[in-house]
Amino acid sequence: MNTIRRQSIFSSGVVYIGFALGAVSNYVMAREFNPDQYGLVNGMFVAIGTIISFFASVGMTGYVGKFYPYYKDNLPPKKIDQMTWALLICLGGFVFTMILGILLKGQVIHFYQKQSAELVRYYYWIFPFGLGMTFFAVLEAYGWQVRQSILTNYLREVQVRLTTLVLILLYLFGWLGSFGNFIKLFSLNYLLVSLILLVYFIRSGQLHFTFSVSRVTRRFYTKIRTLALMIWGGGVFFNLSFYFAQIVIAGLVAGGLTAVGIFTFAQFVSSLIQAPQRGVAAAAIGPLSQAWKDKDHGRISRIYQQSAINQLIFSIGMFVLIWINYRDGVISFHLKPAYLSGQMVFLFIGLARIVDLGTGVSGQIIGTSIHWRFELLSGMVLVVLTLPLNYLLAKEMGITGPAIADLISFSAYNGIRYLFLYRMYKLQPFDIKSVYTILLGVVVYLICHFLFDRYQGLPWMIARSVTMVALYAGGIIWLKLSGDVLPVLRTVQKRLGLVRGE
């Protein structure tokens, strides 16, 4: 667990730096851009671009994650052909997806022209955005395998947001001219970081290209093909479910892109809850792949349980911190009043994120096991629940409807994966500490609510937040909820010279 702990901490730190940049970008956009512009950039471009990337990737991220240990153990570095085929297949998948998108443009215009005309105007610029996301996802998966999760997290979480922030400032200062120029440059963001990562791997000697089919590829071809298609289907289902809300809201809810902007703002705020998840997942993929290969179920169980309790602690703490400050934050930081209507959206999406993080790295465990096909089946269940629920609840309840659908769908989705791992391997991530963590979060919320709810303004936000963090962190240490907290504190104390090293 030491390697995973160390990389998770550094990766989570990088992710939080990225979130800080993202928070600045979102703050500036929420304050200076119109909500419909915000909805187009952070809502529709990200939603459709992500769906395009998973369609185009054809399961290559799963292929890299599952089979890289076999290539590494059986071939010299210059003979490994895995990334050659992975990138070429992604390129072919993108070309097919782009042709499909062009053929369907008439249906897109029909659905969005009334409520979201700006989306139709910039429709074709979504494709280079999706292409960049496609290539970066595969290179990122490779980076996880060669223990470069800190670098990949930096590029995804920091560099992308830093470039976005620079473009926002250039646009606001009038140096880009029109909003259309901003959109065009924004669409190239992921292509830039993909190029940076590709050049780094090549120049550092960690990536070689060969067009000779290796014996590993020939031996595992049937399994590779089956896994890629199954992972591809599961990934498409999952991401379609995750981003379907924006697609529906833009076409059905009054206000179109403005409604998408409000929903997306609340969704971004709830994504702060997810920060540790990406770092933990990135650090755990490699060790889980190796543990399955070595049939080390004890290590898998330890990773499962530690990831669950650590992520539950982070997610509940962050949820409470945001919830007690949401309304006051919108008012105190002078954001557009329209974003106040996103508070209930945050409530339901935030609870869904707690459920998702609280079940640990279950998706990564299943995805790297011999039962990776189950990811497709569980993804189908997610789609079957999400699509109709989003559509029906959006028509009936506006932007709050898809948020409720999100909570229902992801609770069922994670529940199914939990039961599968328990029945197949007797793996489960919960113990009494999980209950204590939930109770601690409720108690800390109630204390802060009764002490500060009637006060508003930045000084009260600071007082409310400091009190919440002190009570929550103190409770975690006193109850010894995580085995990783005290080692980290001891390391920090040693670095600061507060205690002597052993």
Q: Are 366 and 421 in contact (CB under 8 A)?
A: yes
Write the single-letter amino acid at 383: V
Domain membership of residue 438 as a residue range: 2-485
490 falls within a domain: no
Q: Are 7 and 145 in contact (CB under 8 A)?
A: no
Query: HSE-up of 386 (CA within 13 Å, CB side)?
Result: 28
CB atoms within 10 A of CB 387: 18
SS (H, E, C) 42-86: HHHHHHHHHHHHHHHHCCHHHHHHHHHHHHHHHCCHHHCCHHHHH
The predicted pLDDT at position 496 comes to 44
41 falls within a domain: yes
Residues 6+ apart with CB under 8 A from 117: 256
Token match 């067009």: residue?
A: 211
The predicted pLDDT at position 484 comes to 64
Q: Which two tokens stand for residue 268?
A: 């971004």
377 falls within a domain: yes
The predicted pLDDT at position 287 comes to 82
Radius of gyration of the chain, Cα coordinates, nearest whole angstrom: 23
Per-block mean pLDDT, blocks of 10 residues, the chain (502 long)? 57 73 86 88 89 88 85 86 91 93 84 80 92 93 83 88 94 90 94 94 88 88 83 75 85 84 90 75 76 82 86 92 92 88 93 90 80 74 86 91 92 90 87 92 94 89 94 91 64 50 47
Helix axes 160-172, 179-186, angle to 10 degrees: 170
The values of phi and psi at residue 499, to 5°, are -135, 160
Which of 140, 146, 108, 341 has the alpha carbon at shortest distance from 247?
108
The predicted pLDDT at position 492 comes to 45
Q: Which two tokens stand for residue 261?
A: 């902007």
At residue 136's C-alpha, the angle toward residues 134 and 141, to 5°, is 105
Burial 61-90 (b: 16+ CB within 10 A, else e): bbbbbbbbbbbbeebeeeebbbbbbbbebb
The single-letter DSSP state of residue 2 is H
Q: How far is it, in rounded angstroms, from Cα 408 to Cα 393? A: 12
Which of 321, 23, 359, 13 has the alpha carbon at shortest distance from 162?
23
pTM for this model (two decimals): 0.76
Number of domains in the chain: 1
